[in-house]
Structure 1
Amino acid sequence: MAESDSIDLRRAHVDSLAGVFKRCGCRNRETGRPMGTACPDVAREGHGSWYYRLEVTPWPDGRRRQLRRGGFATAEAAHSERDQFGATGERGLADATMTVDQWLRLWLATLVHLRGTTLSAYRSNIETYLIPCLGGVLVRELTADRIQAMVADLIRNGGVSGHPLRPGTLRHVHATLRAALNAAVRRGLLPANPAWHVHVPTGRRPHAVVWTAPRIAQWRATGQRPPVAVWTVDQTRAFLEYIHDHPLYTLFHLIALFGLRRGEAAGLRWCDIDFEQGLLTVSHQIRQYGRHIEIGSPKSEASNRVISLDGATIALLRQYRENTADIIDPESEEFMFTTRSGGLLTPQHLTHLFRALNDESGLPPIRLHDLRHGAGSLSLAAGNDLKTVQAMLGHSSIVLTADTYVSVLPDLACRAAEATIHHVLSTAKATGARLRGTPGISATAA
């Protein structure tokens, strides 16, 4: 075959069907670059595959945009799918060519009903993890395998910092993608949600541990600290005594003994305190994400709660009201707690303040939220049942209360151990048996 005939034949395979062409993966031996449609063998049957090119809606900045798909065995198959896209109309074409990046941004813009903190978390997961990993993939071509590969990559290589992601962060990223793809299914972009078939390591929720003497010694020697830790009764008392003269002592008293969240404590108003009945109503909280401040309802339905206060706390609140009467009008809707200048007290400010006070006190370090953990443990140690502690903390599930927020304090554990051995020894005495492995303790000794 003459070279001119070969060129004409190759051109026929490029131009014979508008927008449909054949190409292969061969590379030029001299340059190493792909030859594509210029390969001498492209016209040969079985060599390469067929593609189609389709002009679609330009990018928002006006740049030309094309959809190109390949891997078809015949020109007719490529042309058939191209015609199907062309027959769907502008909306159908836009949906068919929508990338994960475009859909995530479109979905995010529709979430006007969400709280700012939730929206901020979604946006962070999308910008930091999902778009860099999956943004260029067409929504209709997104599969469980692709998502699973993303999860594996994040576990191995991590995100922006390069450190492997913790299971909790992975679950949040996966939950964000799952929610976005649920909306894509409702829109008709996907027949089913592939994220439902992806395995994400669950990890374990860290349990709060108590700052016992051995743990304190290890912390002082190594600097290592548990991810979640609570103070003992004596340590909590020591902290409250240390900050007794601080203007916000009353606020920290409420968090340490009644388990208020920091935003709930900052959102308290005088109308939330019933001095006659000794009740505190949690109905507002201050939320903060970045520099944005939001005043709204508590975290969940169960967080809207009424807490019974003891006489000492009522007296403390009365004294605080008298001391701040010239700054905060008790009859107004103003917040009970403010900054020294009278400004709004933000959750972030409270976190920084507590960290500084904790360091100054010389006590082992805990987070401000751990003070809430400790309130649940102290309430349990005082003899209250889990249901009471659940109601005080505002949990929707008693399992959450038992599994995460309630630590066993040393003195409570000792009493439990003593009660157990007493019960065993009493049983042995009643049966006249000697306890194996307990030297010198028999039924008569018990």
Structure 2
Amino acid sequence: MARVWIEDRANHADYQQAVEKWQAAKRKGSKRQAPGRWRVRWYGPDNKPKAKTFAKLPQAEAEKDAITARLDKGSYRDPQSAKAAVKVIAEEWYKSLRRQGRTTKHDYRELLDNYVIPQWGDWQVGAIRWEDVSDWIDDLIEKPGKSGRKLGPARITKIYRVFSMVMKRAVQTNRIAANPATEHELPRRNEDDEHVYLTHEQLERLAEAAGEYRRLVLVLGYCGIRWAEASAIKASRVNVDTRRIRIVQGYTDVRGALELGPVKNHEKRSVPLPRSFAEELRELTAGRKLDALVFTAPEGGPLRYSNFRQRFFDPAVKAAGLDGLGITPHKLRHTAASLAIAAGADVKVVQTMLGHKSAAMTLDVYGHLFPDRLDEVADALDAGRVAALDKIRASLAEAA
């Protein structure tokens, strides 16, 4: 039996009854379309029967040829599968995540609930076109986000990537043949707006203005660790003698509750402490229990990012004369990276400090800060060439 064929329903009892009902309705003024006489039938890759009805034979023949071609090429998709709602596929994708950490999954959940599902949740996945996604990106750029403020380029990119991963799931599960959320032009990040690089003097002024949290600011600004990691440092993981802090855990705010878990990317590491203030940390760890937090809230317990910013960090920024630069506790990582690079640290050292998954990532973010060393290479090549020419001249002189 052919895999795809056309069936004439003219002599089928159900078709004849449908035609009679249609004619009766038409006499009463109904504008309903006549029932389809020609039915295209086929078996999908799952060996289950499929059917689609057309009023005219040429339409049925065109569909038969199209389905046959898709079956032969392996690009066939069950039309019913394309009717799945995006919110269903989004939940499937989210439940399938295995390697992502708690923070990443929490971010994905927030982006799904606030942006992806409200926009696309009730859409049939097969109905989404590339231009629909392009229009949505324009809306993300122009309209305010959930906070009431316009979304930044980095935030828009994250939202788009989450949606693209949901659509990739639809492709992988044979709902659609191609991902409509690919090859879109996204707003470009302005690195000057995203990154703030303080000088040593600026960092010291900020630390002094932070009062009791002076040493925390210095750790953030010189060690390059994340806020989640700094707030989870325990006394046992600070070794003043070797000038190292061991980074193994971080706090994550999950729906208002702080949870202690592994660091991002599971990149446990040791970061260096400048000798000039390493001894100051000894005061914070001496005589304390090994599992005691080094930096705590005024009333005890772990520090919360929002409270620390509002009560201590932002006032310190203003007192230090640095307001307007967009400095945040997290952005002190950029200062740590820039100061380390200026001091001669290579890319692998900076990667280790920051806990990046790869040196390529470090170069993508901070590559413009590393000296290009082109003059150094040119001078070395020149020295080699001059030495070679001297040997050649000496050889020619001896031969003469």
TM bin, normalised by shorter chain, reads: 0.5 to 0.7
Partner of 1:269: 234
Residues 39-438 of structure 1: pairs in structure 2 closer than 5 A: 40=29, 42=31, 73-74=55-56, 95=81, 97-111=83-97, 114-157=100-143, 165-196=151-182, 198-207=183-192, 226-243=193-210, 245-246=211-212, 248-301=213-266, 303-322=267-286, 325=287, 328-329=288-289, 331=290, 333-352=291-310, 353-365=312-324, 366-405=327-366
- 1:179 Cα deviation after fit: 1.6
- Taking structure 2 as the reference length, the TM-score comes to 0.67
Secondary structure, counterpart of 2:295 in structure 1: coil
**2-side partners of 1:268 and 1:139: how far apart?**
45
Which whole-Å CA distance do the structure 1 matches of 2:268 and 2:280 have between them? 23
Give me the whole-angstrom Cα distance separating, in 2, the residues matched to 1:159 and 1:358: 26
Q: What is the number of residues matched between the two proteins? A: 329
Are 1:262 and 1:347, in contact at CA under 8 Å, matched by a contact in 2? yes
Secondary structure of the corresponding residue to residue 16 of structure 1: helix
- AA in 2 matched with 1:259: G
Q: Quote how far apart the aligned CAs of 1:273 are.
A: 2.0
1:185: Cα distance to partner? 3.2
Structure 1's unaligned 5+ residue stretches are 1-11, 23-35, 52-69, 82-91, 208-225, 424-446
Shift of 1:309: 2.7
- Cα 1:307–1:199 change in 2 (3 A) is same
Give the letter aligned to residue 201 of structure 1: L
**Deviation larger for 166-175 or 110-119:** 110-119
Structure-2 change in CA distance of 1:156 and 1:273 (3 Å): closer
Q: Does the CA-based 8 Å contact 1:240-1:253 persist in structure 2? A: yes
How far has the Cα of 1:378 moved from its partner?
1.8
Between the aligned partners of 2:296 and 2:205, the Cα distance in structure 1 is: 24
User: Does structure 1 conserve the Cα–Cα contact (< 8 Å) formed by 2:238 and 2:285?
Assistant: no
SS in structure 1 opposite 2:270? strand
Q: Name the CA shift for 1:202/1:257 in 2 (closer, same or farther; >3 Å).
A: same
Shift of 1:102: 2.9
CA contact (8 A) 2:167 2:179 kept: yes
Whether the 8 Å contact between 1:377 and 1:407 is mirrored in structure 2 is no
Alpha-carbon displacement from aligned partner over 1:112-162 (angstroms, at most 9, x marks no partner)? 764333233223332333233323322233343433343344345565578
The letter of the residue matching 1:307 is: V
CA RMSD of aligned residues (A): 4.3
Give the drift of 1:203: 1.0
Q: Which amino acid aligns with 1:101?
A: K
Identity of aligned residues (%): 24
Instruction: State how far apart, in whole Å, the 2-side matches of 1:154 and 1:195 are.
Output: 14
- Distance between the aligned counterparts of 1:122 and 1:408, measured in 2? 31
Q: CA deviation at 1:374?
A: 1.1
TM-score (norm 1): 0.61
Q: Relative contact order (alpha carbons < 8 A, sep ≥ 6): 1 or 2 greater?
A: 2
What is the Cα deviation at residue 263 of structure 1? 0.9
SS of corresponding position for 1:368: coil
Note the residue ranges of structure 2 that are not aligned, 5 or more in a row. 1-13, 37-51, 65-77, 380-400
